[in-house]
Amino acid sequence: MSKLISLLSLSFLFSFSSFSSAHDLVAAIQSEDRSPKNVLRDEFRNPEETLTFFQIKPDMRVVELSPGGGWYTEILANYLHEPGILIAAHFDKDSEVGYFKRGRANFEKKIASSPMYSNVEIVDLSSNLAKENSVDAVITFRNLHNWLGPQMDSIFANSFKALKPGGVFGVVEHRADPGTSIDDMKKSGYVTEEHAITIAKKHGFVLVAKSEINANPKDTKDHPRGVWTLPPNLRLKDVDRNKYLSIGESDRMTLLFKKP
């Protein structure tokens, strides 16, 4: 009987250890479930420091705006567990734009590929995202330049509505030099901190903190093909490839807002 109790105790401890590990951010980042290609970007994207700065906890309901190929989704799906959930707001399912349709289809295929993504819901980026006052955090990575104009207003407004009072809104974006025009932001892919903060405040957010976690002083921001000249895009292919590889990924602002 005592032997049985010991075995049951060990089983319980093992289960508890596995459960704890699943909720640990470092373990999620180091998980073998992640794509090796994505892991190579960690040195530039600093996921542990960034998600910690955004105050993301494993039991949160989190919206990830425009997750692209799912770089952060891989980490968040490992990290968020019941009652936590990840809501991925991807390109609209009924979009007639080929690039958007392919991106959404590829993301859906990724989510269907593993039980790891069982806690991930997919919604349209143009939707209300979630029920009003129902989520703990909304986060987005390197997307603001794609939304400049009315779309940015709409997405920020829907993010504010979806968040609970006190909920956080975390933004990482390629950082333009102060005074850069909207037209130049669109062409270069870099957005000024001032513009990001202005639009966030316009929709009711309060700026809580800024971080230099994702800063890169090597980035001169004057590249022939804008931010896409740098890795991982390397739009110029072999032209000055080593030069751009030595710079690394873009200089980025990291901003934390809250819904009052």
pTM: 0.91
pLDDT confidence of residue 156:
98
Q: Is 14 domain-assigned? A: no
Q: 53-64, pLDDT tens digit by residue?
A: 999 999 999 999
Q: Is the pLDDT of residue 5 over 50?
A: no
Q: Contact at 8 Å (CB) between 73 and 37? A: no
pLDDT band with cut points at 50, 70 and 90 for residue 75: very high
10 in a structural domain:
no
Residues 103-130, mean pLDDT to the nearest whole number: 97
**pLDDT of residue 2 exceeding 60:** no
Is 72 in contact with 13 (CB distance < 8 Å)?
no
Note the Cα 169 to chain centre separation in Å.
Answer: 11
- The pLDDT value recorded for residue 140 is 98
In a domain, 220, yes or no: yes
In a domain, 60, yes or no: yes
> At 89, which CATH number?
3.40.50.150
- Phi (first) and psi of residue 18, to 5 degrees: -65, -40
CA gap 181, 229 in Å, rounded:
20
Residue 23 has a pLDDT of 61
The DSSP bridge partners found for residue 122 are 88
Q: Is 12 part of a structural domain of the chain?
A: no
- Residue 13, in any domain of the structure: no
Domain count, the chain: 1
pLDDT digits (tens, 9 = 90+) for 77-95: 999 999 999 999 999 999 9
Range of the domain at 100: 25-258
Radius of gyration from C-alpha coordinates of the chain: 20
In a domain, residue 163? The reply is yes
In a domain, 212, yes or no: yes
Encoded amino acid at 149, one letter:
G
Q: Does residue 198 carry a pLDDT above 60?
A: yes
Specify the pairing of strand 120-124 against strand 135-141: unpaired
Mean pLDDT over residues 13-42, rounded? Answer: 76
What is the Cα–Cα distance from 72 to 146, expressed in whole angstroms? 18
Encode burial over 126-158: b for 16+ CB neighbours within 10 A, e otherwise. eeebbeeeebbbbbbbbbbbebeeeebeebbeb
